Amino acid sequence: MNVKTGRPINIEIDHLSRVEGHGDIRIRIENGKLVECTWKVVETPRFFEVMFKGLSIEMAPLLAARICGICSISHALASARAIERALKIEIPEPAQKVRLLAKHAETLQSHTLHLFFLVAPDFLNVDSVIPLIQTHPQVVETAARIKGFANRASDLFAGRTTHPMVIKVGGSTQVPRKRQLRELVKDLDATIPYLWEALDLFKSFTMPDFVRETEFVSLRGTEEYPFIGGNLVSSDGICKKEDEYRAMTNEYLVDFSTSKFSRLSRESFAVGALARFNNNYDLLHPKAKETAEELKLRLGEHNPFFYNLAQLVECFHVMYESKEIILRLIDSDISEFASHYKVKGCEGVGAVEAPRGILYHYYRIGEDGKIEKSDCVMPTSQNHAKIYYDLHKLVEELIGQGKGEEEIRNLSQMLVRAYDPCISRGQDNLEPQYVAPLFLLTHNSITVISRPPKARFYPLSTVKEEVTNERHPK
Q: Is residue 41 part of a domain?
A: no
What per-residue confidence (pLDDT) applies to 446? 42
Q: Are 105 and 153 in contact (CB under 8 A)?
A: yes
With 0-12 CB in 10 A as exposed, 13-18 as middle and 19+ as buried, what is 263? buried
> From residue 437, how far is each of 180, 440, 454 by CA, in Å?
52, 10, 11
pLDDT per residue as tens digits for the range 407-445: 999 999 999 999 999 988 655 544 433 333 333 444 444
Q: Is a pLDDT exceeding 60 seen at residue 135?
A: yes
Per-residue pLDDT band at 8 (split at 50, 70, 90): very high
- Amino acid, res. 35: V
For 104: left if phi > 0, alpha if psi spans -120 to 50, otherwise beta; the answer is alpha
Per-residue pLDDT band at 140 (split at 50, 70, 90): very high
Q: Is residue 225 part of a domain?
A: yes
End-to-end CA gap in the chain: 47
Which of 82-91, 172-181, 448-457 comes out lowest in average pLDDT?
448-457
What per-residue confidence (pLDDT) applies to 424? 85
Q: Is residue 388 part of a domain?
A: no
Q: How far apart are CA 61 and CA 338, in angstroms?
A: 15
Q: Are 215 and 269 in contact (CB under 8 A)?
A: yes
Q: How far apart are CA 398 and CA 411, in angstroms?
A: 9
Q: Is residue 408 part of a domain?
A: no
For a pLDDT cut of 90, what percent of the chain falls above it? 85
Nearest to 119 by CA among 421, 424, 423: 421
ω into 302 cis (within 30 of 0):
no
In total, how many domains does the chain have?
1
Q: Is residue 175 part of a domain?
A: yes
What per-residue confidence (pLDDT) applies to 47? 82
Nearest to 272 by CA among 162, 382, 376: 382
Q: Is residue 112 part of a domain?
A: yes
Go through 383-407 and write b for each residue having 16 or more CB atoms within 10 A of its CB, e for each that does not.
bbbbbbbbbbebbebbbeeebebee
Mean pLDDT over 102-116 rounds to 98
pLDDT per residue as tens digits for the range 340-352: 999 999 999 999 9
Strand partners, 220: 231
Residue 335 maps to which CATH number?
1.10.645.10
Strand partners, 233: 218, 239
> Domain range for residue 173?
48-383
Q: Is residue 378 part of a domain?
A: yes
Per-residue pLDDT band at 465 (split at 50, 70, 90): very low
> From residue 427, how far is each of 42, 46, 273, 382 by CA, in Å?
9, 6, 21, 12
Q: Is residue 162 part of a domain?
A: yes
Q: Is a pLDDT exceeding 90 seen at residue 193?
A: yes
What per-residue confidence (pLDDT) applies to 2? 45
Q: Is a pLDDT exceeding 90 seen at residue 46?
A: no
What per-residue confidence (pLDDT) applies to 426? 59
Mean pLDDT over 129-151 rounds to 97
Q: Is a pLDDT exceeding 70 seen at residue 27?
A: yes
Q: Are strands 446-450 and 167-168 parallel, antiparallel or unpaired?
A: unpaired
Mean pLDDT over 69-75 rounds to 95
Q: Are 82 and 363 in contact (CB under 8 A)?
A: yes
Q: How far apart are CA 202 and CA 295, in angstroms?
A: 8
Q: Average pLDDT of the chain?
A: 90
Q: Are strands 239-240 and 371-377 parallel, antiparallel or unpaired?
A: unpaired
Task: List all residues 6 or more positions away from 157 whose beta carbon is below 8 Å from its beta carbon.
Answer: 98, 99, 101, 102, 105, 166, 176
pLDDT per residue as tens digits for the range 369-412: 999 999 999 999 999 999 999 999 999 999 999 999 999 999 99
Phi, psi dihedrals of residue 81, rounded to the nearest 5°: -65, -40
- Amino acid, res. 471: R
Q: How far apart are CA 284 and CA 307, in angstroms?
A: 16
With 0-12 CB in 10 A as exposed, 13-18 as middle and 19+ as buried, what is 294? middle
Nearest to 242 by CA among 151, 377, 393, 109: 377
